[in-house]
Structure 1
Amino acid sequence: MSEPMTATMPQATRKALSSTIRDLRARLIADLGGALTARYRLALPLQSADLLPRRRTWRLRLEQHFDQAGRATHAAKGSPKYQAGYDRARAALVEQAAYTWLNRLVCLRLFEARGLVGPAVITGGWDSPAYQQWREVAPARVYGAAAQGDDTAGFRALLDRVFAELALDLPGLFAPGGLVEAVPLPPQTLRAVVEALNAPALADAWADELLLGWVYQYFNDPAREALDAKLNDGGKVEPHEIASKTQLFTERYMV
């Protein structure tokens, strides 16, 4: 096992990381939100959606969760206030799923850079050593992937196996659980994230032990900036917006 690296991230790399994370945040939220609507046909009433049993079960759980948030506003069902709470819960779930996926993939890429896991999966993506081995030992999962509903040529199946192994030690991050698992990750979105994490501009990021803190802040920056703009225009902070204002990463030297 390799020794942990502790190099400080160069300013240019940090700027590239900020841009990358913000772009991936926007992409993930848009793509996952669209995929959620499409998979469970949320634009249609449940009785008209014609869903398979498993997807119908997930949709019921989703609607119960959103409805609970709407009721928490103490407004009548169908009222604007109720609908605002309902919609916030839906948006929050998509954002949580987006961050969960990004965090998992960043962590795995970081573990690979530090020699904590191997062979590499994220480093190199579809050209990675692990995927090349996967093509040899499980060709049916690769070449027959599309027929099994996997449009990533087996890469997602490999990733799920790696996550399952990591979940034994880090269940809070890698183990499936909760409603975020109902939010589908489109194959083209997975590829976009993996490719972005392999960008040469981020090469020096993986040696910085504070990387995950920066990813956390850069992911939350857009929401915080939107709230700052609202306050500058004379608006007030709502209870559900407080977290966005306070989600800042503190470097060690400032503590």
Structure 2
Amino acid sequence: KDGENTAALDQVSGRPLTPTEKSQRSQLIARINEKGFDNVMEEAAYTWFNRFTALRYMEVNGYLPTRIKVFSNESDEFKPEILSQALDVEIEGLDKSYIVDLIDAQDNETLYKYLLIAQCNALNKGLPELFEQIGGWTELLFPRNLLREDSVIARMVKDIPQQDWQDQVQIIGWLYQYYNSEPKDKVFANLKKNIKISKDDIPAATQLFTPDWIVRYMVENSLGRLWAEGHGKIDSADWKYYLEEAQQEESVKAELEKLRAEYAQIKPEQIKFLDPCMGSGHILVYAFDLLMSIYTQQGWSERDAAVSIITKNLYGLDIDRRAYQLAYFSLMMKARQYNRRLLSLSAEGACTPNLANFQDIGRFSTDMLTGEIAQLAGQFENCDTYGSLIDVQEIQGLDEAIDEFHGVIGFNAQQLERMMQLYKILSQRYDVVCTNPPYMGGS
């Protein structure tokens, strides 16, 4: 943190830097100058923790395209198959001669780093929101000593029973809450010292993993009720927390009959379900399960239903990019459970979840914007503080303005695309809105 952060250095601690390392180091210093040392180190630490958690989940459930485990072996011991079978790994871009050189030199640390980064980059096509292309400064901060018996991945294998990872994608949310526990404690300790909660601290202060029974209670009595009132309760569904309709007055009964007649016309693919504060996606994942039982009752195959649920039924928002990434991963893994081709469909752009977060827009300036684009951007000022509380207004002529927009100083086309995704989710109507809203206390 207080070292000689000069981009022009040729060596560090007496070791000469390669041209690639020099470039990566320059990027790292530029990022530190922009965001601050602590923020960049936290970003790097979390990015790798996130990727390792996802890789462990995928290897246990057999979802890695290579079918070669990255942390364990067939006996689920901390003996990475990807290392012992390095010459058999088929990942695009691997240099087999370089692998042979590393094996001959018995440089397992460098070989393991090379293989893990290649595996993460290969997953970018099917899961682009979680496995962003690795290069530059994040590669420079790849964790060291991962093959030690007390490393973070060794503990993921040895300390968490394998069955806890099997088809329980909510483990992603549990680990995120664990990861957030220290920042959360720090935020509330600062409050006692009269240090206010900043917008950057809101996610750590407010995000809690909603317990399973509460999620089931909410979803069964909202989405489940909507379907049951029009089509009857699904016999095969395990709705432990569903409440039967209470005795009602005649006038209420008449209104309910109208609703039931309306709901009887709805098809599974027409239902829109929103969680506006989705966190790591626990509510959306259970809604997926319930929707799957609805679809299959209506004669859909599980494979086709999985894609339809992801692309047509479920919508989610969060203020925090990290939570968004986890919700995205959780939903994709839930769908992969039913459709083996899901990652390939995602790579082709045929299966993308309707999820978004408010941090992805980044900082922007409205100074150079005019007309409809300026009206749109004006509605999203401070969106990384207010999140889904924003009330968006319809803008006439917006589609035409977007077609003609190519970016200006302080606001680019990618920011506009992300803003439009948020605008779409915030502006449409839903059959069910179900959430556990974030809160910090009564005062």
TM (norm. structure 1) is 0.62
Equivalence map 1:118-137=2 (5 Å): 118-124=67-73, 127-134=79-86
The answer to whether the Cα contact below 8 Å between 1:227 and 1:245 also exists between their aligned partners in 2 is: yes
The answer to whether the Cα contact below 8 Å between 2:68 and 2:81 also exists between their aligned partners in 1 is: yes
Q: C-alpha separation between the residues in 2 aligned to 1:120 and 1:221?
A: 30
The answer to whether the Cα contact below 8 Å between 2:25 and 2:137 also exists between their aligned partners in 1 is: no
The answer to whether the Cα contact below 8 Å between 2:124 and 2:130 also exists between their aligned partners in 1 is: yes
The answer to whether the Cα contact below 8 Å between 1:104 and 1:173 also exists between their aligned partners in 2 is: yes
The answer to whether the Cα contact below 8 Å between 2:124 and 2:132 also exists between their aligned partners in 1 is: yes
Equivalence map 1:62-141=2 (5 Å): 62-69=28-35, 89-117=36-64, 118-124=67-73, 127-134=79-86, 141=99
> Are residues 115 and 55 of structure 1, via their aligned partners in 2, closer, same or farther at CA, if it must alter by over 3 Å?
closer
Matching residue's letter, 1:198: V
The answer to whether the Cα contact below 8 Å between 2:70 and 2:82 also exists between their aligned partners in 1 is: yes
- Say what the alpha-carbon RMSD is for the aligned residues: 3.3
Task: State the Cα distance separating 1:170 from its structure 2 match.
Answer: 1.0
Aligned residues, how many? 195
User: Taking CA–CA contacts closer than 8 Å with sequence separation of 6 or more, which of the two structures ends up with the larger relative contact order?
Assistant: 1
Q: Deviations over 1:40-67 (max 9, x none)?
A: xx71252773355444433443333333
Task: State the Cα distance separating 1:202 from its structure 2 match.
Answer: 3.0
> Are residues 200 and 236 of structure 1, via their aligned partners in 2, closer, same or farther at CA, if it must alter by over 3 Å?
closer
Q: Work out whether 1:158 is the aligned partner of 2:118.
A: no
Q: C-alpha separation between the residues in 1 aligned to 2:143 and 2:79?
A: 20
Q: C-alpha separation between the residues in 1 aligned to 2:171 and 2:5?
A: 43
Larger strand share, 1 or 2: 2
Identify the range of structure 1 (133-142 vs 116-125) with the bigger mean alpha-carbon deviation. Answer: 133-142
Q: Deviations over 1:83-131 (max 9, x none)?
A: xxxxxx2211111111111111111111122122212122237633333
Task: State the Cα distance separating 1:225 from its structure 2 match.
Answer: 0.8
Per the alignment, residue 395 of structure 2 pairs with none
> Are residues 62 and 162 of structure 1, via their aligned partners in 2, closer, same or farther at CA, if it must alter by over 3 Å?
closer
The answer to whether the Cα contact below 8 Å between 2:21 and 2:140 also exists between their aligned partners in 1 is: no
Larger radius of gyration: 2
Per the alignment, residue 15 of structure 1 pairs with none
> Are residues 60 and 135 of structure 1, via their aligned partners in 2, closer, same or farther at CA, if it must alter by over 3 Å?
closer
The answer to whether the Cα contact below 8 Å between 2:70 and 2:116 also exists between their aligned partners in 1 is: yes
SS in 2 for 1:95: helix
Per the alignment, residue 263 of structure 2 pairs with none
Per the alignment, residue 10 of structure 2 pairs with 50
SS in 1 for 2:195: coil
The answer to whether the Cα contact below 8 Å between 1:96 and 1:180 also exists between their aligned partners in 2 is: no
Aligned to 1:206, which of 142, 165, 184?
Answer: 165
> Are residues 63 and 139 of structure 1, via their aligned partners in 2, closer, same or farther at CA, if it must alter by over 3 Å?
closer
Per the alignment, residue 218 of structure 1 pairs with 178
Q: C-alpha separation between the residues in 2 aligned to 1:58 and 1:140?
A: 21
The answer to whether the Cα contact below 8 Å between 1:120 and 1:128 also exists between their aligned partners in 2 is: yes
Task: State the Cα distance separating 1:175 from its structure 2 match.
Answer: 3.0
Matching residue's letter, 1:98: A
Aligned-residue identity in percent: 27
Task: State the Cα distance separating 1:239 from its structure 2 match.
Answer: 3.9
Task: State the Cα distance separating 1:205 from its structure 2 match.
Answer: 1.9
Task: State the Cα distance separating 1:164 from its structure 2 match.
Answer: 2.6
Q: Which runs of 5+ in 2 are unaligned?
A: 12-16, 90-95, 216-434, 436-443
> Are residues 43 and 156 of structure 1, via their aligned partners in 2, closer, same or farther at CA, if it must alter by over 3 Å?
same
Matching residue's letter, 2:32: F
The answer to whether the Cα contact below 8 Å between 2:78 and 2:154 also exists between their aligned partners in 1 is: no
Q: Deviations over 1:209-241 (max 9, x none)?
A: 201111111111100011112223443223433
Q: C-alpha separation between the residues in 2 aligned to 1:119 and 1:95?
A: 30
The answer to whether the Cα contact below 8 Å between 1:105 and 1:122 also exists between their aligned partners in 2 is: no
Q: Work out whether 1:195 is the aligned partner of 2:154.
A: yes
SS in 2 for 1:49: coil
Matching residue's letter, 2:57: L
Q: Work out whether 1:235 is the aligned partner of 2:195.
A: yes
Matching residue's letter, 2:153: V
Identify the range of structure 1 (105-114 vs 48-57) with the bigger mean alpha-carbon deviation. Answer: 48-57
